Amino acid sequence: MELSTRHSVITLPMRDKSGKGMKMREWLTRTASEQGRAIGEGSIDPVGLTETYLSAIKSHPAGARIYARLTEARALAEAEAARSRARNGVRRGILDGVPVSWKDLFDSANVATEASSRLLAGRVPTRDADVLARATQAGGVCLGKTHMSELAFSGLGLNPMFGEGLDPLPATPPNINDPDAVPGGSSSGAAASVAFGLAAVAIGSDTGGSVRVPAAFNDLVGLKTSHGRLSNRGVVPLCAKFDTVGPLARSVEDCAEVFAVLAGARAVDLKNASLAGRRLLVMEPYAEDVRDAPAAGFARALEAFAAAGAQIVRHKSAALDAAMALSPILFAAEAYATWREMIEANPEKMFGPILQRFRGGADVLASDYIAAWQKLEALREDFHRETAGYDAVIAPTVAILPPNIARLMVDEEYYVTENLLALRNTRIGNLMGSCGLTLPTGVPSTGVMLLCPAGQEERLLRLGAAAEAALQA
């Protein structure tokens, strides 16, 4: 097994456990939907696929940095059931038998769920989170729980405080493009599990960008759902008024299929999706004030979208700028209120920069917090009136490339600056209550983000499918 600086190279035993077609190892980096169709056709055995993923995780040099723990017995039992349904022609959907990783803040019955925080060490829930239960009912195979930023309060994915082993950063997964850089957070292990071929698809959460940032940093597709569209019951909270659940995957199709499963709905039809005649609104200055590589990736995306027939318009929103200024009050105050007692009882168990970020909400007055929310609700109305004539608001997903791990560990100012910049653009979607999708641009570790109003995931996914096709043309 070896890692490259651009793509993962996975070497596994040359066994074909299905007995037909591609070697099982070759399926590890195919899309979840491709795997599901192959299961339905009889080309893949779900048990063999699951065993191969588990073997890959255990043998991968960074496997323990990506996964907090495996749920091997559960995965194999679920794969056996999927095999039986496939043989009997009673599959529950395209993802029946497909292996999935889960961020370590989704409760799993009788298995530790610790949000990669020493504050929650030994926490073992008695039931699955609602979304995990839905995925299981649809035939998903739960591989295990992935590492994350501590309590989900960072966009970087750096976690030196959790886990065991010889590695000095046991809960900091690698970046697919640069082994010296962070993977992005807080769904860091979720992104790495898919990028390195250690899960077909991953489930993460997004409060300020925690699905979209690591997806962009690792050349994946990531879906931020509308607040409340998917259940948060059984999900360790950060800011309940902003927390959302979403998939990280290799394709828009995968995100659409996973979203449908978790929402208990029919998957949106992506056929014949087109950008022709679509009006896309570039949000300034968030599209301009970015570093060179993200700017190059975004320029490539705009060129591809225009070539596919989209009309590109640029706009600056005073409502959005005003909303962004409210961020320190809205996010930090709720996060600190949620975790204050546990944090202050054991502050030494936390990574200093994250502890400091939580404590940034300690002195916010209740009256200021309520006033900020009242103002934000009015600004959301203004923003959506401004953008109503467009099919999507677009911007670079992240303004920077993945920061250097070693420097983050010793340079406090660098940590604060890079974390804020990592989350700056994605936070637009959370503040405005939008659903959002990030797509890889073709420039490594950069993404283009599309935003639509709350509740319009199906329309967003069709736009995303068309944008994906344009970028791949």
| Mean pLDDT, residues 103-120 | 98
- 372-405 pLDDT tens trace: 999 999 999 999 999 999 999 999 999 999 999 9
**Region at 23 (left for phi over 0; alpha for psi -120 to 50; beta for the rest):** beta
- Tell me which amino acid residue 35 is: Q
**Region at 272 (left for phi over 0; alpha for psi -120 to 50; beta for the rest):** left
- Tell me which amino acid residue 331 is: F
- 285-310 pLDDT tens trace: 999 999 999 999 999 999 999 999 99
Collapsing DSSP states into helix, strand and coil, what is residue 417? helix
Could you please state the CATH topology (level 3) that the domain comprising 2-263 is classified under. Amidase signature (AS) enzymes (3.90.1300)
The residue whose two tokens read 């195919």 is 30
Rounded percentage of the chain residues whose pLDDT exceeds 70: 95
**pLDDT computed for residue 1 by the predictor:** 28
**pLDDT computed for residue 388 by the predictor:** 97
Bond before 285 cis per omega within 30 degrees? yes
- Catalytically active residues are 103, 186, 210
**pLDDT computed for residue 166 by the predictor:** 64
Q: Assign domain 279-472 to its CATH superfamily.
A: Amidase signature (AS) domain (3.90.1300.10)
β 67-70/141-146 pair status: antiparallel
The residue whose two tokens read 């974390």 is 419
**Region at 300 (left for phi over 0; alpha for psi -120 to 50; beta for the rest):** alpha
pTM, two decimal places: 0.95
- Tell me which amino acid residue 132 is: L
Model confidence at 8, pLDDT cuts 50, 70, 90, reads very low
Q: Is the pLDDT of residue 176 over 70?
A: yes
**pLDDT computed for residue 18 by the predictor:** 46
Mean pLDDT of the chain: 95
Decide if 198 contacts 50 (C-beta within 8 A). no
**pLDDT computed for residue 5 by the predictor:** 29
Rounded to 5 degrees, φ, ψ at 111 are: -130, 135
**pLDDT computed for residue 14 by the predictor:** 34
Same fold, 2-263 and 279-472: yes
| Mean pLDDT, residues 461-470 | 98
How far is it, in rounded angstroms, from Cα 252 to Cα 245? Answer: 16
**Boundaries of every domain in the chain:** 2-263, 279-472
Q: Is the pLDDT of residue 113 over 80?
A: yes
Q: Is the pLDDT of residue 251 over 90?
A: yes
**pLDDT computed for residue 167 by the predictor:** 77
How far is it, in rounded angstroms, from Cα 389 to Cα 197? Answer: 40
Q: Is the pLDDT of residue 431 over 70?
A: yes
| Mean pLDDT, residues 89-95 | 98
Burial letters for 171-205: b for 16+ Cβ neighbours within 10 Å, e otherwise? Answer: bbbbbbbbeebbbbbbbbbbbbbbbbbbbbbbbbb
